[in-house]
Amino acid sequence: MHPHPTRRSALMAGGALAAGTALPAAAAASTAAVARETSPAAAGNGWRRLPGILARIRPPTFPDRRFDITRYGAVGDGATMNTAAIRAAITACHRAGGGHVVVPAGRFVTGAIHLRSRVDLHVSEGGILAFSPDPADYLPAVLTRWEGTECYNYSPFVYAYGQRGVAVTGHGILDGQARLGPWESWYRTGSLQGPDQRLLRRMGTEGVPVADRVFGAGHHLRPKMVQFNRCRDVLVSDLTIVDPPMWTVHPVLCANVTVRSVTVESLLHNTDGVDAEASRDVHVTGCRFNTNDDCVAVKSGRDEDGHRVGVPSENIVVQDCDFAGRWGGITVGSEMSGGVRNVFAENCRINPPDFPGHYPVKYPVYIKASKKRGGFIDGVYVRGFTGRGVERDIVFVNMNYNNGEGGTHPVSVRDIHLSHSEIDGARAVLNLVGLETDRLRGVHLSHCVFTGVRGADSVLCTDDLTLRKVFVNGVEVS
C-alpha cells in the first residue's frame, strides 16, 4: 500500500474494473452494514470536534424594525436606479440601532450595496435585486481579495467591510445580470483580464503595498457577487442567487458565518458557489449549487501574499447540500497559502436527479495545492456523500496543481477521510498526487460502496493510505 514514489499503481483488485458491474448480493448486504456501523477510528477522530464547532456558530439576530426601501425612494419597475435609495435605507437602519432593510416585491435595479453593522438586507418573496451591468456602478474601488491577493478593485455587488452582525436574507432573488455586462468578455479570451491578473499576482509576490495595488476603473478584474471582508456574525439565508460575475458568496477573514438554504445558479466561467477564505467557524447548510466551477471551496490566500496575511481557514462545516458543478463538490484550495484545517462535509448529494445541474461534478472531493502556494491542509473529513454520474474521480488530491507553477515553498497535505458514502458512476475512486519532496500523508477511506467505476485508481507519493470495508464494483478493496 506504499507505492514507489515515481510509480502509479492500481489499488483495485485486478486493475481496471468493468464499468457498471452489478452489485452482488454480498456487497449489497455490506451497504446496509456500512450504514449501521460507525467507527471513529476509521472515519477520523476529527469528527469529535464537530459538535463544539457547531455550538459556536450562531447566526446574528436583529431588532424588529423594518425599513422598506420604497420609503426612501426606491422604485421596483426594473428600470429605475435605486442605489441611493437603498443606501439611505441602510444608513437609517444602522443609525437606529439595526433592523431589517426590506426589499418588497418588484424588480429593483441597483449598483453596489454596502452593508453596515446590525443590518439585515431582507429580499422578500417576489422581490428581485437586479445588479447593474455597468462597471461604473461599482466604483469607487474598495479593499478586497481577488483570487487570494489583496487589492483595491470594483466593489462586490453586496459588500461589507469590518462590520459585525450583517445579513442578506429572504426568499427573493439576487440577480447579478452578469450576462448583460462585460464581465464574461473580460474572462473569456484572457486578453483583458489576463494582464491585470498577472500584474496583481506579481504585486503580491513582490510585496507591493496593498494601497498601491489599485485596479477598478480602466482594469478588468471581475467583482465578486457577495463579499464580507473582516466581518463577524454573518448570515446569508434562503435567497436564490443567479448570474454572478465571479465567486458568489465570499466571506474573507471573517468569523461566525452561516450560509443556509441558499440556491446558487452561476454558469459563467469561474463562478464558485461559496468561497470561505481565511475564515473560521463557517457553516454552509441546506444549500443547492449549480455552478460553472467549484460548489463550496475553502481558501486562505495566494502565494506570497497569502503568507503575508497568514490567516488560515479553519472549522468549516458543510452539511446537507446538493452539488452540481463543473469542478469540485467540496474543494480545498488552490489558494491555500495561509493554511486550512478542520474541514467537515457530510450528507451531501452529488448530481442529484431532482436538481439537475448544467455540468456534472468532476470530483466530489477535490484538494489542490502546490509548492508555489505552500501552506498546509490538515484535516478534511467527509462522510455520508451519495450520488451518481461523477465525471472523473471521487477523490482527487493534487499537490502538483498547475504543475507546481515553479514554486519552492514547503507544502503539507495530510489527514483526509472519506467514510459512509455511496456513489454510482466515476472514472476512478482515487487520484492521489503527492510530491517526492512533500508527500501526501494519511488518506483513509472506510465503509463506502462505489459502483459503475470505469478505471483503476492512481496513487503517487502517498504514505499511510488505508481502505476499510470499501467496495468497488462489488469487490471489497483492502
Q: What angle do CA 437, 443, 446 make, to 5 degrees?
A: 170
Lowest mean per-residue pLDDT among 238-247, 395-404, 448-457:
395-404
32 vs 37: CA distance, rounded Å: 9
Give the chain's mean pLDDT: 91
pLDDT score at 356: 86
Give the Cα separation of 294 and 239 in Å (integer).
19
Name the percent of the chain lying above pLDDT 90: 87
CA 277 to CA 382: how far, in whole Å?
A: 19
CA angle in degrees (0–180, nearest 5) for 229-230-235: 70
d(CA 409, CA 406): 10
| Contact call for residues 342 and 382 (beta carbons, < 8 A) | no
More confident residue, 40 or 57: 57
Q: How many angstroms separate the CA atoms of 1 and 408, rounded?
A: 28
- The number of CA neighbours under 13 Å toward the Cβ of 44 is 27
Comparing 294-303, 351-360, 462-471, which segment has the lowest mean pLDDT? 351-360
| Structural domain boundaries enclosing 367 | 43-434
Q: What percent of the chain has pLDDT over 70?
A: 91
Give pLDDT, residue 40.
36
Q: How far is CA 473 from CA 25, 34, 349, 419, 423, in A?
A: 12, 15, 20, 17, 11
> What is the count of structural domains for the chain?
1
CB 370 within 8 A of CB 407: yes
Residue 95 lies inside a defined structural domain of this protein? yes
Dist. CA 38–CA 226, nearest whole Å: 38
Return d(Cα 330, Cα 363) in angstroms, integer: 8
Q: What is the mean pLDDT of residues 47-62?
A: 98
Instruction: Look at residue 6 and tell me if it is in a domain.
Output: no
Residue the block writes with cell 454480498: 26
Strand 149-153, strand 142-146: pairing = antiparallel
Express each pLDDT in 202-220 by its tens digit.
Answer: 999 999 999 999 999 999 9
63-67, 384-388, 474-478: least confidently modelled range: 474-478
DSSP state of 214: B
In a domain, 17, yes or no: no
Q: Identify the pLDDT of residue 404.
A: 65
Provide the H-helix boundaries in 102-258: 183-188, 193-206
Give the three-class secondary structure for 163: coil
State the alpha helices, DSSP H only, in 310-352: none
Within-domain flag for 450:
no
In a domain, 440, yes or no: no
Average pLDDT over residues 221-226: 98
218: left (phi over 0), alpha (psi -120 to 50) or beta: left
The confidence score (pLDDT) of residue 11 equals: 41
pLDDT tens by residue, 249-288: 999 999 999 999 999 999 999 999 999 999 999 999 999 9
* b/e map 39-68, b = 16+ CB within 10 Å: eeebbbebbebbeebbeebebbebeeeebe
On whether the CB atoms of residues 118 and 234 are closer than 8 A, the answer is no
Residue appearing with cell numbers 483583458: 192
Stretch 176-183: mean pLDDT: 96
CA 330, 432, 363, 293 torsion: positive or negative? positive
Interval 359-418: pLDDT, tens: 999 999 999 999 999 999 999 999 999 999 999 999 999 999 987 678 899 999 999 999
Calculate the alpha carbon distances from 164 to 1, 118, 156 in Å: 49, 7, 18
pLDDT band at 147 (very low <50, low <70, confident <90, very high): very high
Does residue 134 have a pLDDT over 50? yes
On the question of pLDDT at 478 being above 90, the answer is no
Does 66 reside within a domain? yes
Is 26 a domain residue?
no
Q: What is the mean pLDDT of residues 154-169?
A: 98
- The count of C-alpha atoms lying within 13 angstroms of the C-alpha of 317, restricted to the half-sphere facing its C-beta, is 25
Taking 50 as the threshold, does the pLDDT of residue 18 lie above it? Answer: no
**pLDDT of the residue at 414:** 98
What pLDDT score does 131 carry?
98
What whole-number distance in Å separates Cα of residue 214 and Cα of residue 174? Answer: 27
- Say yes or no to pLDDT of 321 above 50: yes
**What is the structure's pLDDT at 23?**
34
Rounded (5°) CA angle 307-309-312: 80
| Max Cα distance, the chain (Å) | 71
What's the pLDDT score for residue 406? 81
The stretch 128-134 carries a mean pLDDT of 98
Q: Tell me how far apart the terminal alpha carbons of the chain are, to the nearest angstrom.
A: 9
Indicate if the pLDDT at residue 1 is higher than 90: no
Say if 25 falls within a structural domain: no
pLDDT digits 0-9 by tens, 35-45: 333 333 444 57
Q: Is the per-residue pLDDT at 9 higher than 50? A: no
DSSP 241-292: EE--SS-SEEEES-EEEEEES-EEEE-STT--SEEEES-EEEEEES-EEEES
Query: What is the CATH number for 288?
Result: 2.160.20.10
